[in-house]
Structure 1
Amino acid sequence: MELDWNQKNVLVIGAGISGFAAAKLARRFGASVTLSDAKTEEELTKLGDDFAKLRGLGIALAFGPQQESLLEGVDTVIVSPAVPVRIPLIQAAYKKGIRVMSEVELAYDIAESPICAVTGTNGKTTTTTLLGLLLETHYDKVGVGGNIGVPLSEEALRIGRGGCIAAEISSYQMEATEHFHPHVAAVLNVTPDHIVRHGSMEVYQAMKERLFREETEDDYLVLNYDDEKTRGMKARTVAQVCYFSRREELEEGVFVRGDVKNGLIVIRWQGQEYELCHTDELGIKGPHNVENALAAIAVAFFAGCEPTLMVPVLKSFRGVEHRIEYVTTIDGVPYYNDSKATNTDSAIKALETFDGHIILLAGGDDKMTDLTDFMKLVCERVDALVLIGRAAARFYGAAVDNGFPENQIYAAGYSMRKAVEIAHALAKEPAVVLLSPACASFDMYHDMAERGRDFKHLVHELEQQK
């Protein structure tokens, strides 16, 4: 879609990373831009935002209560992912016939290189990061952006022509997206998450499926065969579907031949078969990471990457920050940062990575999802449960209801420092200390990354005291 924003009026709603990027790009394209956020400037400044550069570019700023008058003369509204489209200002824009778009859609509009997009409840960041490295085996210019912390529009502009872009896409980013069209799309899994934001599991899944809605028969859709919800998505696309599976040897797709612990990764497509490496040679560990690797391999393959050149990358890639990230070992006890586990399904995968004797730090901003399966695994593998944040009381009740001993549950309030100190006092070999909250972070932190960094800082403080 050709952009002609010269002398147009653009309203950007939401002063997050994506909102900053969209405002600057719209201004660069010649638009008159206003950036609005429901928070006050003082509140946003406390979170670390700096608006001096935006003012220097001539971008108007409007903070606090968002009146419908903000829409006067506006041609386009760009919505940050953190802002739900149900808010009155955006609904008023729809009623007035004003184009409402996401920063992700802006990225697609300006992209001159193909986009490979990854979504799913869990595994997005690991898969997208690995995909970016795999794409580098074929392309001189590779961008990695989206929900991964780098605005996708900035990456699209930076790469220009002749490259390829790996995009991590969340359900939030798809709410205000209509025409996003990746050449290769992947849906890793769909489990209950963000129900408070979307209202129902059905709407949440529909947001995920928007990722491939615009694809044609010339495009590719990579789906997890082992996940019932994603497997069924084949019926709702015209794109060429490639399944991946760690459990089944597929007639066509990317799969593990043999046991998932040491089996051979194989691409089988259109009568050709390519053998890559064994699963125990992957640099990332755990069954869930086998799935992430299979998905990244499939997307890279359809983006033009040579299978044999992928193998060194698969063996050397060690994962991403905040996802079962090893921090250090104190008195024989390893500490792991899994702050990226913002839902129970992700936390379950972390618990499954270890054999047991886990000192688990959990809790935070409660997503109100069912805790039964999570707590059953807690009962099997966790020696002590340290609870933090707003979700602590509900987590306590669910743990006890599922049979976890009350005397092995510890309350740390809203203090990560206290949680780490409790875990350290309890941890003796062969224990593992694991931060895997199964919750969002917004009751205590700006985001899950800040939570993870705080945990690591506190652990290293303990280490220095030895």
Structure 2
Amino acid sequence: MHFKGKKILVLGAGISGISVACVLQNRGAQVTLSDSKSAELLKNKDLSAIHQCGVTLALGQQGEELLQDIDYIVLSPGISIEIPLVKIAKAKNITVMSEIEVAYQLCTAPIVAITGTNGKTTTTTLIGEMVKTTDRNVVVGGNIGLALSQEVAEVGENGIVVAEISSFQLEGSIHFRPRVAAILNITPDHLDRHHSLENYIAMKERIFANQTKDDYIVLNYDDIIVREMANKVPSKVFFFSRKVELDSGIFVKDGMIIIRWQEKTYIVCPISKIQLRGGHNIENVLAACGVAFFAGVTLISMVQTLFNFTGVEHRIEKVTVVNGVPYYNDSKATNPESSIKALEAFEEPIILIAGGRDKNTDLTAFMKLIKEKVEHLILLGEAQERFEAAAFQHDVSQIHNVNSLSEAVQLAYHLAKEPQVVLLSPACASYDMFTSYEERGKVFKRLVYEL
């Protein structure tokens, strides 16, 4: 696919949209960047790069006239493929693609891609650190960091790209083909965008749709939805499991991580040496080792990386200890399943701060675990009322409603005593109070340090 001389409409003036618009313009395309928000609503957005590279801006009303003579439409991850303008474009046979499809078309290096509902950022970051030990030029991006289309420009054919890929990004993929891919887990998420679990699963499965028998897919054997995907994939399947000893794959036995592949067995390391908390992180480690194994990382390098890796920001991140009570930032937990994994990581009694923009997912399992492990539940944000009702239904005691994260931290401070831990794990998106989960996490850390 060639972009030079093509007329391209990029939808969404977020980080990815701005980046891909500039990348395509610099490759000789004629690019228009459009956002449904007006210039007034985007006044705090840094659009200087757009002006410098000569991209045309079209802000506000997105009418059919934007499609005049357009060859391709490129979607930022936040833009649904079902918006009216995109539907009209498809009816006109205009090719619609995601930003990661552009990245794939521009990339000369092999791509390693990781998707799943939870654990993507930790696993992707860990794989990136492992692959860096091979002395190849390594780029880590996708759903974390800069836009992948911008990142791939810095890596040649002898390098390697490690990418976190979301269902939103896969929605507009066409030829995207990772040489090694991983699907970590599937639980209901983003159903407001995908409408059903079946559609959400179908989006995740696009990560292996263009693979061949020369490629690899790493799948979670313990997740029945993911395990059954093995019947559909065209590539070589490599399972990981923390519960079952596998005939072929990577698993835990007697406290040791073990790889079996093509009738050979490799001992990786004891799980006791890993610094990450929680059983879910053992799964992330297994997936990362499986991917790294096929990306050419030696066992010694895998082990050295594992021993030194302490996790990523905003995911069960220890902030500090105040009056003998540890405070943890898990702002990246934007759905109940992710918060469940955080709760399971602690043996200590928990003061939990939760709530935010509600995704309307089922709260049953989450509240059952709160009943078991949480001594004080502090709720805030738009989800507050529904979360409180669900907590009452499950006989959760000590429920506290607050109006801000600052108030939540102050209340937790006054309630907390050893051996409790204070955990921010919202089980919700951040957009009711913050621009992102990163901003929410940084504010939480600042408030804790101010204690």
Q: Normalized against structure 2, the TM-score is what?
A: 0.99
Residue 110 of structure 2 is matched in structure 1 by 114
Q: Does 1:66 find its partner at 2:62?
A: yes
Which of the residues 263, 271, 283 maps onto 2:263?
Answer: 271
Asked whether 1:326 is paired with 2:332, we answer no
1:172 aligns with 2:162: no
Contact 2:18 2:47 in 1 (8 A): no
Which has the larger displacement, 280-289 or 220-229? 280-289
Deviations 1:364-396 (A, max 9, x none): 000000000000000001011111110000000
- SS of residue in 1 equivalent to 2:144: coil
Say whether 1:335 aligns with 2:327: yes
Rounded Cα–Cα distance in structure 2 between residues aligned with 1:7 and 1:62: 20
* 1:425 partner letter: H
Instruction: Find the aligned partners of 1:437 and 1:68 in 2 and give their Cα distance.
Output: 40
Aligned counterpart in structure 2 of residue 130 of structure 1, from 126, 132, 142 = 126
Give 1:73 shift.
1.1
| Residue of structure 2 equivalent to 1:155 | 151
- Look up the match of 1:380: 372
SS in 1 for 2:304: helix
Whether 1:225 and 2:225 are equivalent positions in the alignment is: no
Measure how far apart 1:137 and its partner are: 1.7
Amino acid aligned to 1:439: C
Aligned with 2:238 (options 235, 242, 255): 242
Which residue in 2 is equivalent to 1:280?
272
Give the aligned partner of residue 26 of structure 1: 24
User: d(CA) in 2 for partners of 1:195 and 1:339?
Assistant: 20
Secondary structure in 1 aligned to 2:207?
helix
The one-letter code sitting in structure 2 at the alignment partner of 1:24 is C
- Give the counterpart letter for 1:92 in structure 2: I
1:168-317 matched pairs, under 5 angstroms: 168-258=164-254, 263-317=255-309
1:6 Cα deviation (Å)?
2.5
Q: What's the CA shift for 1:140?
A: 2.3
Partner residue in 1 for 2:50: 54
Aligned to 1:409: 399
Aligned pair 1:344/2:333, yes or no? Answer: no
Aligned partner of 2:413 in structure 1 is: 424
Matches of 2:100 and 2:264 in 1, distance apart? Answer: 35
Q: Report the secondary structure of 1:137's partner residue.
A: helix
* Corresponding residue to 2:356 among 364, 368, 372: 364
CA distance in structure 2 between the partners assigned to 1:124 and 1:166 by the alignment: 11
1:36 equivalenced with 2:34 (yes/no): yes
Q: Separation in 2 of the partners of 1:52 and 1:151? A: 17
What is the rounded CA distance, in whole Å, between the counterparts of 1:416 and 1:370 in structure 2? 24
The CA distance in 2 between the partners of 1:425 and 1:302, in whole Å, is: 50
Residue identity in the other structure for 1:237: V
Whether the aligned pair in 1 keeps the contact of 2:333 and 2:427 (CA below 8 Å) is yes
Aligned-pair CA distance for 1:68: 1.0
The CA deviation string for residues 51-83 of structure 1, in whole angstroms up to 9 with x for no partner, is 122112111111112111111111110000001
What is the CA-CA distance between 1:425 and the residue it aligns to?
1.2
State the distance in 2 between where 1:383 and 1:43 align: 42
Q: Which residue of 2 aligns with 1:440?
A: 429
Aligned partner of 2:84 in structure 1 is 88
**Matches of 2:178 and 2:220, distance apart in 1:** 18
Give the equivalent residue in structure 1 for 2:9: 11
Q: Residue 461 of structure 1 corresponds to which residue in structure 2?
A: 450
**1:455 CA drift (Å):** 0.6
In the TM superposition, what is the alpha-carbon distance from 1:283 to its structure 2 partner?
A: 2.3
The normalised TM-score by structure 1 is: 0.95
Measure the CA separation in 2 of the matches of 1:360 and 1:246: 27
**Cα offset for 1:304?**
1.4
The CA distance in 1 between the partners of 2:104 and 2:400, in whole Å, is: 48
Cα distance in structure 2, aligned partners of 1:168 and 1:252:
25
Checking the alignment, whether the CA contact within 8 Å between 1:322 and 1:452 is kept in structure 2 is yes
State the 1:278 CA deviation: 0.4
The structural deviation recorded for 1:316 is 0.5
C-alpha distance in 1 between matches for 2:28 and 2:238: 41
Given that 1:356 and 1:382 are in contact with CA atoms closer than 8 Å, whether structure 2 keeps it comes out as: no
> Over aligned residue pairs, what C-alpha RMSD do you find?
0.9
Equivalent residue number for residue 100 of structure 1: 96
Contact 2:22 2:49 in 1 (8 A): no
Distance 1:56 1:178 in 2: 30
Structure 1 alignment gaps of length 5 or more: none
Partner Cα distance (2:123, 2:28) in 1: 36
SS of residue paired to 1:361: strand
